[in-house]
Amino acid sequence: MTSAQPETRPTAPSPDAAVPWGELRGRGFAKGHGTGNDFVLLTDPDAQLALDADLVSLVCDRHRGIGGDGLIRAVRSEALPEGRAVLETAPDAEWFMDYRNNDGSIAEMCGNGVRVFVHYLVQRGLAEVPEGEVLRIGTRAGVKTVARTDSGYAVDMGPWSFLDGGTARSRGSDAVVTAKGLKVPRPALSIGMGNPHTVVALAEGEKLDQLELFTAPVVRPEPEDGTNVEFVVPADGDDDGVGRVRMRVHERGVGETQSCGTGACAAAAATRFWGGPTAPDQWLVQVPGGVVSVTFVPAPDGAEHVVLAGPAVLVADGTFV
Ligand SMILES: N[C@H](CCC[C@H](N)C(=O)O)C(=O)O
C-alpha cells in the first residue's frame, strides 16, 4: 500500500509573486482604444516615471500586465526636451503624448493614440476641446491639432512624404516585401507619417485575409529604424467620389494590430498616389477594428496635410497594485 502523499495546502502567494510594477504601484491608469488599437494611458505631468522598455512591455503584456498595443503617458510639454521643442512653435500645446509600443520601443507618433489621448485628457479634466475649437498637443512628430467630430475626433496629422525622398516617382517601388500569403515578393511604397510605413498593394488573387502576419513581413532594403507594414486592397463602396481601401497592418514594435491610424493615412496616401491625379482626396480605410476617415487637405504652410478622423473610447480605469 503506498503511503498517502502528504496533502499540500495552497500557501499565500510569496511577496516575490507580486508584479514588479516598481514606481507604478498604487498609480491609476485608464484603458482605451481607437478602432481596436488599444492603449494603457497614465498621467505623469512632470515626467517623474522612469518608463524603461521592460516596464512598458510588462504593462502592455496581455497576460501578465494590463495589455495593450501601446502605452501613452500624458506629460506636460515643458517636462520633456521633445515637448519644449514643440512649445517653441506651439506655446499652447500644454500636454505631450509620450507614446510607447507594446515592446517598450518609442515611436514618433500614433494616430489612433492621439484621439484616445485627447479623449483621456478631456475625461480627466486636464484639457478641453470646446465645440468649434481645436486642442494642440505635442508629439515626437511635432504638434498635432485635434477637433471634436460627431463620432470622435479629427487630427491634423501634418504632411506625408515619400521616405526615400523621391517626389516624381513611377508607380514602382523603393522597397520589396515578403510575407506568407504573398505569391512573390511584392513592390511597396515607403511613406512617412511622422513614423515609417511600407505599403503593399496586393495583386490579383492575393487575398488580404489569407496573409499570415504572426511574423513580421520582410522588407528589403531593411529600413534602418524598422517600419510598420500595411497591406491594402480596394474596397467596394458607392460611386460617391470617396476612395475606399481595406487594410491589415503589422506594426513595428507590436505585431498585427486591429488598426493603425498613421498606417491608414499611409495606406490612403499610397493608394491615392497609385491612382494618379484623378484619385479622390477623401478616403475611408477599413481595418479589422472598424473604419477611419482620411482626408488630404491643402494646408496654410503650402504642404498637403492628412486629416485622420475616427472614434476614441475609454474602456476602464484601474490601479497598478
Ligand atoms: N498604432 C499607431 C501607430 C503606432 C506606430 C508604431 N507601431 C511605430 O513604431 O511607428 C497609430 O495608430 O498610428
Q: Tell me, yes or no, whether 248 lies in a domain.
A: yes
Asked if residue 194 has its Cβ within 6 Å of ligand 1, the reply is no
Asked if residue 68 has its Cβ within 6 Å of ligand 1, the reply is no
Q: Cell for 110?
A: 500614433
Length of the chain in terms of residues written: 321
Catalytic residues: 110, 260
For ligand 1, mutation pick of 195, 265, 287, 308 (most atoms within 8 Å of CB):
195
Same domain membership, residue 228 and residue 125: no
Same domain membership, residue 304 and residue 167: yes
In the chain, the number of structural domains is: 2
**CA–CA dist 115, 229 (Å, integer):** 21
Asked if residue 113 has its Cβ within 6 Å of ligand 1, the reply is yes
ipTM of the complex: 0.91
101 labelled binding-site residue: yes
**Model confidence over 15-67: pLDDT tens digits?**
557 899 999 999 999 999 999 999 999 999 999 999 999 999 999 999 999 99
- Residue from 31, 37, 33, 35 nearest 257 by CA: 37
Same domain membership, residue 185 and residue 152: no
Residue 297 bridge partners (DSSP): 305
Asked if residue 101 has its Cβ within 6 Å of ligand 1, the reply is yes
Q: Strand pairing of 175-178 and 161-162?
A: unpaired
pLDDT at 1: 44
Residue 290 bridge partners (DSSP): 287
Q: Is 90 exposed, middle or buried (0-12, 13-18, 19+ CB in 10 A)?
A: middle
Quote the mean pLDDT of the chain: 93
Same domain membership, residue 149 and residue 199: no
**Model confidence over 229-252: pLDDT tens digits?**
999 999 988 889 999 999 999 999
Residue 283 bridge partners (DSSP): 243, 294
With contact defined as beta carbons under 8 Å apart, do 304 and 315 qualify? no
Asked if residue 197 has its Cβ within 6 Å of ligand 1, the reply is no
**Domain interval for residue 295:** 161-310
pLDDT above 70 as % of the chain: 92
Q: Tell me, yes or no, whether 5 lies in a domain.
A: no
**Model confidence over 172-224: pLDDT tens digits?**
567 899 999 999 999 899 999 999 999 999 988 899 999 999 999 999 989 99
Of all protein residues, the one whose alpha carbon is nearest to atom 2 of ligand 1 is: 110
Give me ligand 1 centre to Cα 227, in Å. Answer: 9
**Model confidence over 110-136: pLDDT tens digits?**
999 999 999 999 999 999 999 999 999
**CA–CA dist 8, 14 (Å, integer):** 16
pLDDT(293) > 70: yes
Give me ligand 1 centre to Cα 102, in Å. Answer: 10
Residue 9: pLDDT band (50, 70, 90) is: low
**CA–CA dist 264, 98 (Å, integer):** 21
Same domain membership, residue 223 and residue 182: yes
Q: Identity (one letter) of the amino acid at 40? A: V
Ligand 1 atom nearest residue 251's Cα: 7
- Cα distance from N-terminal residue to C-terminal residue, the chain: 48
pLDDT(279) > 50: yes
CATH number for the domain that contains residue 83 = 3.10.310.10
Residue 85: pLDDT band (50, 70, 90) is: very high
**CA–CA dist 114, 157 (Å, integer):** 10
Q: Tell me, yes or no, whether 14 lies in a domain.
A: no
Cα angle at 252 between 75 and 218, to 5 degrees? 170
